Structure 1
């Protein structure tokens, strides 16, 4: 069975294309996707059967071999840099907790900035 990578796949249209290892473009209909797979990202490796259709080669019964590499994971900071950021966030939260113990919430602008920092750190850790 041929192996290739997803060139692009548009779930809303229900099709896409796969490029085989020898460079051939193969039409990938939604019906060829494995059960439970609704969409594919570019770069996902597939194994599939090929049949000649009216418009050329068409994939049949595709099987996902390797998921596409995560762009977010490839771009994230080194762990040592993230450790420094987490330590700074701990100090920031410690200062907020002291104010909360005295019955004071951070003002609106400060609260929004703190929430943005926490979301950014969470996204970094989650990628």
Structure 2
């Protein structure tokens, strides 16, 4: 079964004690992936921050991680949560998006200028 929250979707397993997130853990993990703090998640779900922390720590235990970033990454890797494709489609609409992703190369010294400077040092013209 899948649930959606904002720009995230999650797979939940309604069978108790099985692999995967419960509905509460999935909801909390999606809100965590969206960048919310425990207090913000608690306010959005109508629970206390301590209850949210316990739910998220159960999710950490299921994933075998210790921090929020690791939990989100591991949950995405396992396919338990994923960003919606809407964001990917919107980025594909802009034709200049590919050009905006790449930085222009910085100007570097050319080989000839370095060689000229070394030869000037050897000839003593820089120190005269």
TM tier, smaller:
under 0.3
Greater CA radius of gyration, 1 or 2?
Answer: 2
Structure with greater contact order relative to length (CA < 8 Å, sep ≥ 6): 2
Structure with more helix by fraction: 2
